[in-house]
Amino acid sequence: YAQANRILGDLIKVTPSSKVVGDLAQFMVQNDLAEKDVIEQADSLSFPSSVVEFLEGRLGQPPGGFPEPLRTQVLRGRE
């Protein structure tokens, strides 16, 4: 959970942002991915829909902005 939180920019945890962090954490565990793996393979991973929607801005914009280059890599070809 801590690694997923760092990847997403240390979000303020309220519903629905806490779900996004939890979904990413669960995705990382299920796929045996470390923080470094997620960052390095972001353009080729099939992220949970909640993570994609967060990075698309559907849940608002986080105070520190979206994590880059993760956002660009995840959304490549989707916008």
2-75 CATH choice from 1.50.10.20, 3.30.70.2190, 3.40.50.300, 1.10.472.90? 1.10.472.90
- pLDDT of residue 79 exceeding 70, the answer is no
40: left (phi over 0), alpha (psi -120 to 50) or beta: alpha
pLDDT attached to residue 39? 95
- Whether the full predicted model's pTM is greater than 0.85, yes or no, is yes
pLDDT attached to residue 20? 97
- The first and second tokens of residue 21, run together, are 């962090």
Cα angle, residue 36 at apex, residues 32 and 56 outer, rounded to 5°: 90
For CA atoms 63, 68, 73, 77, the dihedral sign is positive
